[in-house]
Chains A and B, each alone.
Chain A
Amino acid sequence: MNSPLALLSLIVALPLFGVFFALTSKDDADKPGRNAFNVCVFTLLANIVLIWRIFMILDEESGSLQLIERFRWLANPEINIMFGVDTFSLLLILAVHLSVLAGLAGVRRNIVKQKSLMVFTLLFLSMATGFFVAADIFSFYIFFEAMLIPLFMIVGIFGEVKKQGTVYRFFLYNFLGAIILFSAVMLIYHMHGSVTLEEIAGLKWTRRLDVYIWGAVFLAFLSRIPVWPFHFWISSVCAGLRNPLAFIVTALLPLTGIYGFIRFLPEPVPFPLNVFVDWISIIGIVTMLFIALIGFINKDSQYKIFSYITVYYILYLLGAFSGDEMVLLNIGFSLFSFMLIFSSLETLLTHILRKEEQEDIRSSGFLCKTKRLSFACSYLTIAAVGMPLSAIFINNFFILSKLLASNVKMGMVLIFSLVMVGCTLLQELFRLKTDNPACRADRNDDISFPVFAFFIFIMFILLMSFINPLWFVIDE
């Protein structure tokens, strides 16, 4: 199916137009960056409407990429930019947009370098969208690396705590990943020319090249995923950020690694890939347990959210290794809810932490005085731990059953890690809800009504996604 109106290019380009408008927006003296913020929100909303429109014309049952768009970039060597989308990738694009929107709700009142933040966020959004709609290996590689530029700037500008070390680690891991993937892409191009993502899984090489190319691809994707020891850069970035939008954008990065695995990995996994997969599975399980335990004892709320994110990302990674189409579909649905949940939780928690720092109030007991926050945090936490308030509940059931089928012992460790991170989040919720006389928060510290209304909307989406993950799609 070809795309009418080049919709895919439009959803990649629209944030770039937004960048232009944000850059040229006038700064009000009393509200610096407000116009840029509005541009960002409107661009996002416009893109969400377009994504919704794409859902309408997409064949949900088809497993292959649709709405193909092809643009000639270079004639010799022949390099094209090719876009295509399926339900899975479009769902992730929508989730990224909604997550960023949740992050924007948390930086509404930010006045420090707001314009830069908006510009780089829009740039990131454009690159991330480009990454998810990329249909050939070059487009994939370009957007895979291009999204690091705005991210690097965001972390550099808003990395607040231990900025230098954070940026150094960020650069080190991602730069290595980029070089490794570049070499693999070059080799693939050298052997087979410009290939589409759907063809990669079927490509044949010599044994030695197989080991090298797949090893490089695996390492490049792993550098984005918080699997030991790659978790360290993400943990240090996430723990240092006090800007919810920067945190959310950074925490979306592992998604690109998982998506890469899903797009690249052949089914069934041939030799020698299965050796890699086995090793990564073992390391992934150990990392899950390790991060879950650290999150349990760590007192930093940001780290707790990070541990939750990590454990779930690894769960999705392990599910992706199964290669089962049913599991992949469930991963898509579950990821959608997961991203909405963690970005909303992060925004709300940052609000509390910021109030704690600004007004010197104890965050313990904060939710006793702030009803809107309390309701939103309770709902999102209970949904986050896997209760039937979002699609995570049912979809994780399928993912876990598949993982338990492959190895019950590893599956039990995995479930133990899920229980641990669940307890970690609940522990944090109750810390915030336990009445504390030292907490001087009052009703004025609550989130505003528009922000609350937005989170009610997010909760509504989550609840509806539990009933039907594609409830918003009206078939034409």
Chain B
Amino acid sequence: MISQLFFSLIAIALLALLVVQGRRRRIWSFLLLAACGFLMYELLLSFREDAFSSFVYQWGGFQNLQFSLHLSGTPEIDKILLSLLGSAVGLVYLNSVYWGENHKLTVNTAVLLNVAAFILLLCSKDFVQLMVGSSCLAILGFYLIPDMESKRKFIFYGFLSEMALFTALAVVYEVIPSMNLQDMEQFSTIGRHKDLVALLILLCVFCQAGMLGFQNHILDLQTLTFNRIMIFCLTSLPLSSLVIFTKLRPLLVASQYTEPVLSIWLAAAAAWCLVAMLLTDSLKAAAIYLNLLFYAFSLAFLGVCPDGLDRVINFFPAALLLNILLMMVNNAASNELYVSRLGGLARHIRFTFVLSLAGVAAFIGSFLNVPAVAEKIAFIYLAVVLTGLSSIMSRVFLGKANADDKVMALLKNPSPLYWLPLIGVFVWLGWEYPFWRNKMFYAFFGAFILLLLIAPFRFCGRWSDDEDVQEADWFNDLYQIVILAPLRLLGRVLWVLVDFIVIERSIIGTVAQTSDFLVSGLQKLQGSVRQSYLLMIALGLAVLLLNMGYEYYE
């Protein structure tokens, strides 16, 4: 079924690309949604019937360069795909109904191709397919971003992550030497450069997931519409980081540094995201920080539950939910993006407020059903997310009204096209995770309500107008100062010093001057003065005599 799904997604996407310039794009968009729904239904059927297909195609190579395309299903893979395809169907639906998206068909096509690339990545059994899947997600992301500056940063980070992965796997291949992912276990026993490989893989994962220090390309997505942010964060490159982290785990655990680096980095990323969420004034930025937090949680979760990728992907609808809630607030408030220009909305759009609370409840419930070993991580994640979210929601719904008359006049609850499916998602989450039976749910939800009412971090709102804080890009500045500026300086020095002074002036100049000197000397000898010719003849004779004398001596 997976191979059928993969090729169907590509075929549908290609078909959509053919009609993308044509008319009735909205109808095509819904047809695409229907096709996705059908594929998901088929996948569900095969999953229920335990019909796991096997597909291996020897696609490439020459002599001993043979690679295969693996698209075989396992219960775990099918489960993961089911969750992801569910999220993708949700995103396609959202694109189709979202008024702010002008290129519905293009974006929906990108979603389908992203899922296809993810299948490639997830089913990979060798290094090549793994790298191809990851690179495909990077290339597709490149076409999803319309803004050039964001595109530039994205592709640089994508390129960096791909090169890190490429290098790590090249080192591994040189040691084991096998392309097969199953043979990686050997690396921990016979492997050299274990730390280097682990650090390169972590670099790749952090770049893709946008962890602390490597988040610039993700933060730049603020220029995108909400739906694109969601598509990007939940079906594009960051998703690849989770698969790579899981698949290359044997290489990561081979190094003693992996665990401390991972723990410190993820904790720092979570702390930084929390502070940023408290300080930010933009709803889009808040949505992005929530997604980054989700990835930090996912990596931490996978760190303690190595086989937990299916569970992590199962959390995707919940992570998507928070994004949708923020998007709904933004839509309800006439597309107002800044928290400081809203406030007191609970009185005017009560339904949206209630819907948001229900959404938060469903979100909390989704993360309580985790294995005991990951409970601590889930609780920390929930605590951080709820603290940040409560601060934003408190200012938006309960805080002092700062919205202008136009915004207040146009406040409206979302249309049923949004909230009906949303309620469906709540019901599904409630059915999937019966959280009302869990005491912790009441504790977290109660704490959230309390934080919403007390708003202990409302003082952070004083920085909402501070451009230095809101537009601070310390890491970018740091890269410019610490990495780029020295490299540019070094390049210039080498260019001027070595190319011009050493080679042009010294070597070529010396050769030119020497040949000039020889030519001028010969010109003098070849002049009209007879003595010069006599001198030359005498010199020639002397050489001849010397040579003869030497031969006689020998």
- Interface on A for B, CB 8 Å cutoff? 60-61, 168-169, 172, 228-229, 232, 235, 290, 293-298, 326, 329-330, 333, 382, 385-389, 393-394, 397-398, 400-402, 404-405, 408, 411-412, 415, 418-420, 422-423, 426, 430, 433-435, 466-470
Contact = CB atoms under 8 A, between A and B. Distances in A.
A418 B62 CA distance: 25
Nearest to B490: A293
Interface in B111-148: 127-128, 131-132, 135-136, 138-139, 142, 148
Nearest to B151: A430
B167 A415 contact: yes
Contacts of A389: 139
A405 B174 contact: yes
B169 A397 contact: yes
B162 A329 contact: no
A426 B159 contact: yes
Nearest to A365: B148
A426 B135 CA distance: 15
Contacts of A296: 487-488, 491
Interface stretch (B72-80, B425-433, B496-504): B496-504
B148 A298 contact: no
Given A296-B487, A388-B135, A394-B65, A430 B196 contact: no
- Enumerate the 3 nearest inter-chain pairs by beta-carbon distance, A residue then B residue, closest first: A293-B491, A405-B174, A297-B491
A382 B491 contact: no
A412 B167 CA distance: 8
B189 interface: no
A1 to B, nearest CB: 18
B139 A294 contact: no
A401 B65 contact: no
Question: Interface centre among B59, B65, B136, B498, by most A CB within 10 Å?
Answer: B65
A388 B138 CA distance: 11
Contacts, number: 131
B159 A385 contact: yes
Contacts of B494: 290, 293-294
B62 A469 contact: yes
Nearest to B69: A467
Contacts of B177: 401
Nearest to B489: A297
Given A400-B170, A430-B151, A382 B156 contact: no
B495 A294 contact: yes
A4 to B, nearest CB: 24
Interface residues of B, dominant DSSP:
helix
Given A329-B63, A426-B152, 13 more contacts: A169-B508, A229-B503, A386-B166, A393-B131, A393-B132, A397-B166, A400-B167, A401-B171, A404-B167, A404-B171, A426-B159, A433-B151, A434-B152
Interface string B350-382: 000000000000000000000000000000000
A422 B163 contact: yes
Given A294-B495, A296-B491, A401-B170, A330 B65 contact: yes
A293 B499 contact: no
A397 B151 contact: no
15 contacts: A168-B512, A229-B502, A297-B488, A326-B65, A388-B136, A393-B131, A402-B174, A405-B175, A419-B160, A422-B163, A430-B151, A430-B155, A434-B152, A467-B60, A468-B61
Given A397-B173, A401-B174, A232 B503 contact: yes
Contacts of B139: 382, 387, 389
Contact of A394 (B60, B151, B507): B60
Contact of B163 (A326, A411, A419, A468): A419
Nearest to A169: B508
A375 to B, nearest CB: 11
B491 A398 contact: no
B511 interface: yes
A85 to B, nearest CB: 17
Contacts of A329: 62-63, 65
Contacts of B400: none
B508 A404 contact: no
B193 interface: yes
Contacts of A418: 163
Contact of B487 (A293, A388, A400): A293
A290 B148 contact: no
A297 B494 CA distance: 11
Contacts of A169: 508
Question: Interface centre among A326, A386, A387, A398, by most B CB within 10 Å?
Answer: A387
A167 B504 CA distance: 14
Contacts of A382: 139, 142
Given A394-B60, A422-B159, A297 B492 contact: yes
B64 interface: yes
Nearest to B493: A293
A297 B495 contact: yes
Contacts of B160: 419
B131 A388 contact: yes
B68 to A, nearest CB: 12
B60 A468 contact: yes
A294 B498 CA distance: 11
Nearest to A228: B498
B152 A387 contact: no
A408 B136 contact: no
Contacts of A405: 174-175
B349 to A, nearest CB: 37
Contact of A398 (B65, B171, B192): B65
B254 to A, nearest CB: 16
Contacts of B487: 293, 296-297, 420
Interface string B176-206: 0100000000000000110010000000000
Interface in B51-66: 59-65
Contacts of A398: 65, 173
Contacts of B495: 294, 297-298
A466 B60 contact: yes
B170 A397 contact: yes
B84 to A, nearest CB: 22
B60 A408 contact: no
Nearest to B128: A394
A228 B487 CA distance: 19
